[in-house]
Amino acid sequence: MFPILLEFIRLKHPFHYLRRMKALVLHTLHQDLDFTDIPTPVPRAGEVLVRLRAAALNRRDWWITQGQYSKIQLPVILGSDGVGEYRGKAVLINPALDWGSDPRAQGKEFRVLGLPDDGTFAEFIRIPRANLAPKPEHLNWEQAAALPLAGLTAYRTLFSRCRLQAGEQVLITGVGGGVALMAMQFALAAGAKVWVSSGDPLKLEKAVALGAQGGANYREADWDKSLKAESGGFDVVIDSAGGDGFAPLLNLCKPGARIGVYGGSLGKINGLSPQILFWKQISILGSTMGTPAEFRRMLAFVTRHRIVPVVDSVFALADGNAALARIAGGEQLGKIVLQI
């Protein structure tokens, strides 16, 4: 009788009761993640269990380990990006949880997968069924894992907020990170002309090889003046840094330009001239992640244009701390992926 009961449990709830899983767990700030053995999660109402095949890192994961994020709850499994298998089908995970009913802005219950909810740096994840979508068939596991957070953020910023149109000129700052590179690829696919900026000449060269018209090294004197002379100015600017480098972006804008801001890694904006802002009729538009509908549209866009996210490097799940060290160094071009 007992073996029959176990078989019934196995069929009704595969993985839950009969095994444990490997995961990278953050127990203490400023310390390495623990690669450890923990119970496989049990889905609750409306949730499913996904066997993960790959996960991608975001700068957010590093900031959390350093305590530079709000409402940190430990222990936690980090990781917002993931792709895996559910009922024999390849699925992609939407990391934007409980957006809310208003497409203009997220609601109070909104959160990003990987804190406080356990994330994708594990063999299995418990996730709302509504947050699953078919994996684009033209992408392998590692490429697909690189897509969700960066793709959704870039799509909303470019298209929903900045209303990018074919033929417009776009500047994307800080190229090299996942969202910036994805924004560049999306803008190119939409028929825009794209320029980029970076403090790394090698990243500028690689961006041009991927289709950018040109680039500027913001560490050089008068970089903004040189870029304006080369490009003639921009209809759309996409920025995630803020700080002292933001004010020169207004000088690069054409009349009626839109600036999309999806991050603030360099902190408060200094030296912003309201005269330039109102005289040029410039719009500054904040953006973060996106709605379920935008996630679906983003996947359709990626599939239609056969866009392949740029993968910088691939590590085994057990080597997750080495992957975090690489993202902390800021030398990557594209996404760092964990193979599970």
Gap between the Cα atoms of 47 and 72, Å rounded:
23
304 lies in some domain: no
Gap between the Cα atoms of 97 and 44, Å rounded:
15
The answer to whether residues 316 and 227 belong to one domain is no
123 lies in some domain: yes
Contact 308, 145 (CB under 8 A): no
The answer to whether residues 134 and 157 belong to one domain is no
Q: The domain spanning residue 161 has which CATH number?
A: 3.40.50.720
The answer to whether residues 131 and 204 belong to one domain is no
Confidence of residue 7 (pLDDT cuts 50, 70, 90): very low
Domain count, the chain: 2
* pLDDT exceeds 50 at position 202: yes
The answer to whether residues 23 and 123 belong to one domain is yes
The answer to whether residues 164 and 261 belong to one domain is yes
Domain range enclosing 37: 9-147+309-339
* pLDDT exceeds 60 at position 1: no
The answer to whether residues 50 and 142 belong to one domain is yes
283-286 and 20-26 as β-strands: parallel, antiparallel, unpaired? unpaired
The pLDDT assigned to 127 comes to 97
Confidence of residue 15 (pLDDT cuts 50, 70, 90): very low
CA angle 19, 41, 321 (to 5 degrees): 90
Mean per-residue pLDDT, 55-75: 92
Gap between the Cα atoms of 171 and 246, Å rounded:
12
296 lies in some domain: no
4 lies in some domain: no
294 lies in some domain: no
Q: The domain spanning residue 18 has which CATH number?
A: 3.90.180.10
* pLDDT exceeds 70 at position 125: yes
Contact 149, 289 (CB under 8 A): yes
The pLDDT assigned to 257 comes to 97
The answer to whether residues 141 and 173 belong to one domain is no
Among residues of the chain, what percentage have pLDDT more than 90?
80
The pLDDT assigned to 96 comes to 97
291 lies in some domain: no
The answer to whether residues 134 and 213 belong to one domain is no
The answer to whether residues 265 and 329 belong to one domain is no
* pLDDT exceeds 70 at position 212: yes
The answer to whether residues 115 and 220 belong to one domain is no
The pTM for the full model equals 0.90
The answer to whether residues 50 and 115 belong to one domain is yes
Gap between the Cα atoms of 157 and 150, Å rounded:
11
The answer to whether residues 79 and 158 belong to one domain is no
* Residue 248 Cα distances to 94, 173, 196, 223, 287, angstroms: 35, 12, 14, 9, 20
* pLDDT exceeds 90 at position 91: yes
316 lies in some domain: yes
168 lies in some domain: yes
CA 212 to chain centre: 20
The pLDDT assigned to 332 comes to 85
